[in-house]
Amino acid sequence: MSILDNVVFCSLLCVIGGLSTASQGAINSRLGQYTGQGLSSTIVFCIGAVASCIYFLIEVRGRPPANLALMISKAPWWSWTGGVLGAIFIIVTILAIPKLGAGTTTAIIICAKLIFSCLIDNFGFFGIPKRKYTIWRGLATIGLIGCVAVISVF
């Protein structure tokens, strides 16, 4: 049994991820004020690439699997777009936070993220197991949009 099978541990990881992404936008936006927006995004991704490589080496204990090339070749074409989507996220936060503020920018992003995630669940996009978009999820969506409006106005 892996620690990743523990729901509480995975929930804690999600909290850490949320804290990280909330901080990331503001930090990246500040870097963009000193380096320019394009260079800021490039720096962020280079540092992220190094951190990801370190994690990969820890995960495989310094020895990549022998069949790594075969594993990579079997990935669907769209699975390679994550880096582009990550770049879009970084660039959007760098551009939007100085105009909207960290709270409003993050609220809009989280709302859009949650709504699209529910659609991904409902239709099983990207090979994710289906989870029905219920009336309760619909009501939560309306609540999310209301929360974003309140955060944006006040």
| Domain membership flag for residue 1 | no
Quote the domain boundaries for residue 64: 25-153
Per-residue H/E/C for the chain: CCHHHCHHHHHHHHHHHHHHHHHHHHHHHHHHHHHCHHHHHHHHHHHHHHHHHHHHHHHCCCCCCCCHHHHHHCCCHHHHHHHHHHHHHHHHHHHHHHHHCHHHHHHHHHHHHHHHHHHHHHHCHHHCCCCCCCHHHHHHHHHHHHHHHHHHHC
| Domain membership flag for residue 15 | no
Per-residue confidence (pLDDT) for residue 39, from 0 to 100: 94
Question: Quick check: 148 and 107 in contact, CB under 8 A?
Answer: yes
Tokens, residue 122 = 């409902």
Tens of pLDDT, residues 50-83: 999 999 999 888 888 888 889 999 999 999 998 8
Residue type, 76: P
| Domain membership flag for residue 14 | no
Tens of pLDDT, residues 83-96: 899 889 999 999 99
| Domain membership flag for residue 7 | no
Per-residue confidence (pLDDT) for residue 51, from 0 to 100: 95
Q: If you average pLDDT over every residue of the chain, what do you get? A: 92
| Domain membership flag for residue 9 | no
Number of structural domains found in the chain: 1
Question: Residue written as tokens 């994550």?
Answer: 82
Cα angle 20, 26, 31; round to 5: 110
Residue type, 111: C
| Domain membership flag for residue 13 | no
Please, what sign has the CA dihedral across residues 107, 111, 117, 120?
negative
| Domain membership flag for residue 16 | no
Share of the chain above pLDDT 90, in %: 73
| Domain membership flag for residue 141 | yes
Length of the chain: 154
Per-residue confidence (pLDDT) for residue 2, from 0 to 100: 86
What is the arithmetic mean of pLDDT over 127-149?
94
Taking phi over 0 as left and psi of -120 to 50 as alpha, with beta for the rest, 127 belongs to: left
Per-residue confidence (pLDDT) for residue 22, from 0 to 100: 83
Q: 99 pLDDT band (50/70/90 cuts)?
A: very high
